[in-house]
Structure 1
Amino acid sequence: MRDRLEQYQGVCYLTVIFAGLMAGAYLPGIAERLAPWLWPLLGVLLYVTFTQLPLTRLRARLVSPRFLVAAVLGNFVIIPLIVWGLVQTLPDNPGLRLGVMMVLLLPCTDWFISFTHLGRGDAALAVAFTPLSLLLQIVLLPAYLVTFLGHEALVGLFRRELLLAFGGLILLPLTAALITGIWVRRAPRRNALIARLGDLPIPLLALVLFVVAAGQVNEVAGSLGLLVWLLPVFVAFLVAAVLLSWLMAWGFRLSVVQGRVLAFSFGSRNSFVVLPLALALPAGLEVAVMVVVFQSLVELFGMLIFLWLVPNRLFPDKAE
């Protein structure tokens, strides 16, 4: 079953995204009913993903200095410069520019792990990198917000949401997966449970994609005039991210599976964490909400392309 799901996962994801867009557009009230399910579904998705990883060897994954330098340099030095350059092409609208900066400056700390797993990357390495990524985001936020945005007052709000997301979407599922692993090791016959859980990441991710698409399509539909400016920026960002991952993997002599982690880390952003921040912005910056929502939809389609492009063309197995 798992092989069949992996073979057709792209078609599956594309189908549920379009179904979600149609449901959100034509079924009144569905966005409000689905919204409370998003984070629980993400938590379950990450729990199932973690059960498939060699969690007991995470400490060994941290001793990969070349990967860590490449990931940190790319995510926190080069990509912010790329984002700053892309923002210069936008109209001089404070809310528009703030929204783009907010959503593109911070790398994802949750579902990029699942995409890495499904894209045949080193998901255990992705898990090991996540705490460092979160720490750097918290430390560098003041510099980003002041230098790029001029919004020092948002620092505390950003830090609170990042910590809540890390606790709810990383620590809790990771702890549950570790407990499950200990329970399974006490009786070998329980290994069948882990095998069954291994069939669930693709269906669960499909549910997450459906909820995101259905819940956010109306936000985007109300600001179609701005999408002409935003779509090229978000597409250019994904192209830059995938090219940067290839260049840095080559320059730092990373393995194929490490290069795949870089690609998904560079390409996926912290939109689910940033959205509550956008909703809390003061009057006059409301357009930032639409920017964050639209970026998450563009990223959905981008990750579908990444799931095929990264393991099959950018970092194919034969490259080892």
Structure 2
Amino acid sequence: MLRGGVRVLITLLFAVAILTGSLLGIAGLELPIDPLILVLVGAIFFTLRLGSLRSLRRAPRTILVALATNFVLIPLIALPITLALPSEALRLGVLIYCLAPCTDWFLGFTRLAGGDTVAGAALIPLQMLIQLLMYPIWMMLFAGESVAWMPETAGSTLVQWFLVPAGIGIAAQLLVPRRWRRLAIDGVDAAVPFIIAVVIVAIFAGNVQTILADPASFAWVLLAVFVFFALTFALGEGLARVFRLDHASHALVTMTTSARNAPLMLAVTTIALPDQPLVHAAIILGMLIEFPHLTALTHLLRRREVRHVLAA
């Protein structure tokens, strides 16, 4: 469990990362994002206690709650929110952003919040496959666009963003001599907040200029995403009570319903709709609220966990 002082330091670390990335972006400097995300996913899988995989047999309910929330309930929240935006392009961009649950960094925040990373790891390929298969349906329903999205494309994406880093992380753990394995896992585990911080710096550095391009229009986007996150948090709190989720399951559901898959959706949408810069910009803008939101959630969930432990 993270001590109170460590929790505060991690929160400050992420706040500094947001500020640093914004300043770098204003100065026109960028960092590569994709390799950093792959490193994060690999590090998370390196830190998984493989013996705990047996606990997955108790996790189907948590996984089903997460999937139903992300792909059934959240679309019902996102659609009316986007109707208030001032242009069709912005509405489509925010909708694409809201509909796709994150398949990488949410696991890092789940780990920091004391959540169930074993069930979270099982969610990654499921959520990635579902959103890739649903993407052409979303385009047809909400944009009137016919998008050819072949199964082999979804398969190659799964390999690149999940199987490769996950395989490397697990293989690296198994290659460490048993007597050093716990020390190595603890070391990488301690490095995860710093890896997330670097990812945050890279994302803000690469995208903060988007806000400066059209602040009036994009203020509406930021407001819509803020409302979306407020409603999804309330939804997660309600589901935790209805299904009586323990802290680990509650933290996982909260993080997977809060983090969105903006980088993958941006890449896919750039291919599907290459001449729609406002759609692309709206997807990017969501991340500028997402990371402060995830940072606040991490702090809140950790404080709640400490209260539960002290009360027990």
Give the TM-score normalised by the residue count of structure 2: 0.90
Identify the residue that residue 216 of structure 2 maps to in structure 1: 225
Give the AA of the match of 1:86: I
Q: Displacement, 1:128? A: 1.2
Identify the residue that residue 205 of structure 2 maps to in structure 1: 214
Cα distance in 2, alignment partners of residues 43 and 108 from structure 1: 13
Cα distance in 2, alignment partners of residues 157 and 287 from structure 1: 26
Indicate conservation of the 8 Å contact 2:103/2:124, yes or no. Answer: yes
Deviation per residue, 1:159-204 (Å, 9 max, x gap): 83x54543223212211122122223x4413543223222210111
Indicate conservation of the 8 Å contact 1:61/1:124, yes or no. Answer: yes
Indicate conservation of the 8 Å contact 2:136/2:149, yes or no. Answer: no
Instruction: Return the match for 2:38 from 33, 43, 60.
Output: 43
Cα distance in 1, alignment partners of residues 151 and 101 from structure 2: 13
Give runs of aligned pairs for residues 12-91 of structure 1, distance below 5 A. Answer: 12-26=13-27, 28=28, 30-31=29-30, 34=31, 37-58=32-53, 60-91=55-86
The alignment-based identity, stated in percent, is: 25
Q: Displacement, 1:59? A: 5.5
Identify the residue that residue 189 of structure 1 maps to in structure 2: 180
Q: Does 1:171 align with 2:166?
A: no
Give the AA of the match of 1:10: T
Q: Displacement, 1:158? A: 10
Deviation per residue, 1:269-294 (Å, 9 max, x gap): 11010112333354652201110111
Q: Displacement, 1:76? A: 0.7
Structure 1 unaligned spans of 5+ = none
Please state whether the residue corresponding to 2:160 is helix, strand or coil: helix
Deviation per residue, 1:199-255 (Å, 9 max, x gap): 210111111111111111112210212122112210011111111111112112221
Cα distance in 2, alignment partners of residues 247 and 183 from structure 1: 43
Indicate conservation of the 8 Å contact 1:5/1:202, yes or no. Answer: no
Cα distance in 2, alignment partners of residues 218 and 6 from structure 1: 30
Q: Displacement, 1:62? A: 4.9
Cα distance in 1, alignment partners of residues 157 and 296 from structure 2: 26
Cα distance in 1, alignment partners of residues 282 and 202 from structure 2: 18
Residues 224-233 or 77-86, more deviating: 224-233
Give the AA of the match of 1:156: W
Report the CA distance shift for 1:158/1:214 in structure 2 as closer, same or farther (over 3 A): farther
Q: Displacement, 1:126? A: 0.4
Structure 2 unaligned spans of 5+ = none
Cα distance in 1, alignment partners of residues 156 and 214 from structure 2: 30
Give the AA of the match of 2:241: W
Give the AA of the match of 1:88: L
Report the CA distance shift for 1:187/1:79 in structure 2 as closer, same or farther (over 3 A): closer
Instruction: Return the match for 1:235 from 226, 241, 253.
Output: 226
Q: Does 1:140 align with 2:131?
A: no
Give the AA of the match of 1:106: A
Cα distance in 2, alignment partners of residues 198 and 49 from structure 1: 8
Give the AA of the match of 1:298: I
Q: Does 1:106 align with 2:100?
A: yes
Give the AA of the match of 1:219: T
Report the CA distance shift for 1:14/1:240 in structure 2 as closer, same or farther (over 3 A): same
Q: Does 1:97 align with 2:98?
A: no
Report the CA distance shift for 1:189/1:67 in structure 2 as closer, same or farther (over 3 A): closer
Indicate conservation of the 8 Å contact 2:40/2:104, yes or no. Answer: no
Q: Does 1:120 align with 2:114?
A: yes
